[in-house]
């Protein structure tokens, strides 16, 4: 008796299974479920572009409509990954163009995207709709023009914090008059001015536009006319907010803002002048997301805005808000889920010291839904962390950046071990943690013991010895990504816990004490991992005992990559010649 579900029935059932996690489970049941699942999956996410080959992915999911790829490791954001390391999207676009021409959406993070790539996208995917590039680089505004001119049904074009060679603002004028499908446009990271008339015409013919994030070059004056053309906006990123406007212009702008009945998210506000803060009052009550992290106004002005934002769920702000301002956040924003506080100065001496650990304590006390925190602060105390943990056991993401490396509890001068212990002990669902300040191995023993749901952990300038790494690798069961810089540990823990590395996506260590010999040994032991030694200043001959600058280890089905630059070594390269014998082949 054949007990299998007919594949058509199974297909129908699977069409209701949306989450990729569930689909991954489905694909493991049996061969026929694997087959049906793979033929029906529309959204594919590859979180490490080197973990699998483009060809394999294209082959497995022929009906792919949406592809998400991530390239460089997270610490690339802080310039710890040298230029030229990798993360090229070209091979993926080539493969998809050949095998999955009905691809509609491409979302890339930390990848190298060239103008050729953008041109190929424009040429290959007839129904291309969505391009979201986050922290990408390698392309110019010419590439954007190629996308604009060719993608007739473009819905989303978002450039988030990309490094773009900005040749000029002409690219915007390449959107054809027939393009009316735009839903989201984000060019906030570009420098050049776009022609206002092009932008106005684009907005006039985009009735579905919901999200618009302008760049700094768009003046305050221009903003008024743009808002009048798009009162249906749900997300707005303003341009520079600091031009001098006459009274009439101010009144008109105020009116334009008050027409934004659907607005939920506000960002931009570069260099906003205090006298313009009242312009925003009318949209405040509706806001769920407010990004003031580029707004260089003082606490009193920030507070004026925030008291009016009772529905805020996400707040990004600079430490200019001070403890007093965070007290206001605590009392006004009861729905707050995510808080990020960035430093207002680039160095320790410039950071605002009127913001301390107390600010975060206030918010943790009063905001019951707070689950994600990123907090830059000069110093911190254990007591504060214990209080925060007690107040908010529902924290999922806790990233504390004590800006002064090795800073102890500034009241007791003790390490911050006990504080982080409280965090991992009480916040049982904690998935992401960044630690800082003075920490001994004990802190990591606590994290290893209690951080069972921890998936991502970031560590800098901490610990005493190998024990630190050992606690983490042997204790944190759910650990997926571990990134470490400037910590004094070396080979033993790494080699002892080698097997753990297969259960993780990646491990990054820079400026630690890992020896070249250990890297070789690890590579030999673990063929399913790519162990990359990234040394820009390698010694002429590399003795086994010499420490490596950086090591990046990730699990992969694709084997060693073929696009490694000179300064990346893996065991597949001849250490003397430094050339990959695979490349020669």
Partner 1 sequence: MISELEMGKAESELELGLGLSLGGGTAAKIGKPGGGGAWGERGRLLTAKDFPSVGSKRAADSASHAGASPPRSSSQVVGWPPIGSHRMNSLAAKSAREEEEAGKKKVKDDEPKDVNKKVQVGFIKVNMDGVAIGRKVDLNAHSSYENLAQTLEDMFFRGNPGTIGLTGQFTKPLRLLDGSSEFVLTYEDKEGDWMLVGDVPWRMFITSVKRLRVMKTSEANGLAARHQESNERQRK
Interaction site with partner 1 (CB under 8 A): 75, 77-84, 135, 161, 163, 189, 270, 293-294, 296, 298, 320, 342-350, 352-354, 376, 378-379, 401, 403-407, 410, 413, 458, 460-461, 464, 485-486, 488, 490-491, 510-511, 513, 515, 536-537, 545, 547, 549-550, 567
Q: Determine contact, residues 217/191, Cβ cutoff 8 Å.
A: yes
Looking at the Cβ atoms of 84 and 168, the one nearer to partner 1 is 84
Burial class (CB in 10 A: 0-12, 13-18, 19+), 135: buried
Looking at the Cβ atoms of 154 and 467, the one nearer to partner 1 is 467
Q: Which helix (DSSP H) or strand (DSSP E) does residue 325 occupy?
A: helix 322-332
Coil, helix or strand at residue 161: coil
Looking at the Cβ atoms of 220 and 378, the one nearer to partner 1 is 378
Give the orientation angle of helix 220-229 with respect to helix 196-204, to 10 degrees.
20
Q: How far is the CB of 383 from partner 1 (least distance, A)?
A: 15
Q: Show Cβ contacts of residue 389 under 8 Å, excluding neighbours closer than 6 positions.
A: 395, 422, 423, 425, 426, 427
CA gap 521, 151 in Å, rounded: 50
Q: How far is the CB of 249 from partner 1 (least distance, A)?
A: 24
CA gap 359, 341 in Å, rounded: 10
Which phi and psi (to 5°) does residue 443 adopt? -55, -40
Looking at the Cβ atoms of 260 and 321, the one nearer to partner 1 is 321
Looking at the Cβ atoms of 64 and 521, the one nearer to partner 1 is 521
Q: How far is the CB of 579 from partner 1 (least distance, A)?
A: 20
Q: How far is the CB of 302 from partner 1 (least distance, A)?
A: 12
Query: Could you tell me how far CA 335 lies from the centroid of its own chain?
Result: 23
Looking at the Cβ atoms of 285 and 345, the one nearer to partner 1 is 345
Give the orientation angle of helix 417-426 with respect to helix 441-450, to 10 degrees.
0
Q: How far is the CB of 510 from partner 1 (least distance, A)?
A: 7
Q: How far is the CB of 298 from partner 1 (least distance, A)?
A: 8
Which phi and psi (to 5°) does residue 449 adopt? -75, -40
Looking at the Cβ atoms of 246 and 349, the one nearer to partner 1 is 349
Q: Show Cβ contacts of residue 93 under 8 Å, excluding neighbours closer than 6 positions.
A: 117, 120, 121, 124
Q: How far is the CB of 305 from partner 1 (least distance, A)?
A: 17
Coil, helix or strand at residue 157: strand
Taking 3-state DSSP, the helix, strand and coil percentages for the chain, each rounded to the nearest 5, stand at 35, 20, 45
Q: How far is the CB of 83 from partner 1 (least distance, A)?
A: 5
Looking at the Cβ atoms of 371 and 409, the one nearer to partner 1 is 409
């Amino acid at each position: 008796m054949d007990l299998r579900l007919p594949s058509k029935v199974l297909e129908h059932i699977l069409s209701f299974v949306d989450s990729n996690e569930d689909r991954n489970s489905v694909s493991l049941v049996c061969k026929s479920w694997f087959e049906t699942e793979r033929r029906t999956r529309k959204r594919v996410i590859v979180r490490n572009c080197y973990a699998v080959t483009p060809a394999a992915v294209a082959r497995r999911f022929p009906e792919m409509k949406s592809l998400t790829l991530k390239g460089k490791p997270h610490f690339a954001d802080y310039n710890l990954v040298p230029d030229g390391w990798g993360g090229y999207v070209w091979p993926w676009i080539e493969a998809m163009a050949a095998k999955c021409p009905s691809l509609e959406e491409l979302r890339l993070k930390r990848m190298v995207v060239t103008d050729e790539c953008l041109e190929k996208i424009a040429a290959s995917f007839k129904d291309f709709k969505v391009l979201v590039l986050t922290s990408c680089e390698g392309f110019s505004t010419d590439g954007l023009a190629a996308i604009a001119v060719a993608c007739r049904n473009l819905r989303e074009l978002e450039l988030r914090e990309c490094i773009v060679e900005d040749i000029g603002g002409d690219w915007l004028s390449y959107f054809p008059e027939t393009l009316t499908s735009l839903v989201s446009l984000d060019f906030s990271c570009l420098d050049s001015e776009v022609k206002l008339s092009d932008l106005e015409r684009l907005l006039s013919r985009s009735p579905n536009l919901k999200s618009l994030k302008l760049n700094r070059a768009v003046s305050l004056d221009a903003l008024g006319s743009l808002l009048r053309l798009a009162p249906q906006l749900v997300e707005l990123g303003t341009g520079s907010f600091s031009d001098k406007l006459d009274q009439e212009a101010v009144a008109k702008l105020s009116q334009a803002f008050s027409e934004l009945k659907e607005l939920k998210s506000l960002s931009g506000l570069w260099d906003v002048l205090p006298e313009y803060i009242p312009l925003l009052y009318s949209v405040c009550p509706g806001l769920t997301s407010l990004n003031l992290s580029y707004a260089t106004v003082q606490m009193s002005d920030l507070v004026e805005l925030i008291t009016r934002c009772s529905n805020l769920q996400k707040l990004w702000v600079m430490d200019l808000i001070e403890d007093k301002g965070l007290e206001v956040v605590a009392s006004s924003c009861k729905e707050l889920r995510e808080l990020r506080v960035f430093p207002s100065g680039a160095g320790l001496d410039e950071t605002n010291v009127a913001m301390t650990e107390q600010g975060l304590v206030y918010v943790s006390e009063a905001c019951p839904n707070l689950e994600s925190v990123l907090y830059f602060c000069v110093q911190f105390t254990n007591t504060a962390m214990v209080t925060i943990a007690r107040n908010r056991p529902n924290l999922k993401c806790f990233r504390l950046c004590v800006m002064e490396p090795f800073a102890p509890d500034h009241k007791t001068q003790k390490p911050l071990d006990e504080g982080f212990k409280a965090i991992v002990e009480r916040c049982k669902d904690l998935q992401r943690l960044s630690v800082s300040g003075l920490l001994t191995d004990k802190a990591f023993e606590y994290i290893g013991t209690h951080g069972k749901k921890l998936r991502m952990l970031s560590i800098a300038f901490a610990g005493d010895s190998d024990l630190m790494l050992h606690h983490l690798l042997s204790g944190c069961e759910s650990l997926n990504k571990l990134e470490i810089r400037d910590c004094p540990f070396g080979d033993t823990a790494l080699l002892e816990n080698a097997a753990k590395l297969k259960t993780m996506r990646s491990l990054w260590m820079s400026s630690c004490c890992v020896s070249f010999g250990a890297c070789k040994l690890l590579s030999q032991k673990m063929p399913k991992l790519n162990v990359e030694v990234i040394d820009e200043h390698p010694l002429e001959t590399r003795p086994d005992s010499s420490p490596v600058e950086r090591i990046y280890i990730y699990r992969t089905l694709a084997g060693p990559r073929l696009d490694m630059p000179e300064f990346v070594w893996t065991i597949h390269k001849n250490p003397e010649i430094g050339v990959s014998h695979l490349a020669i082949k």
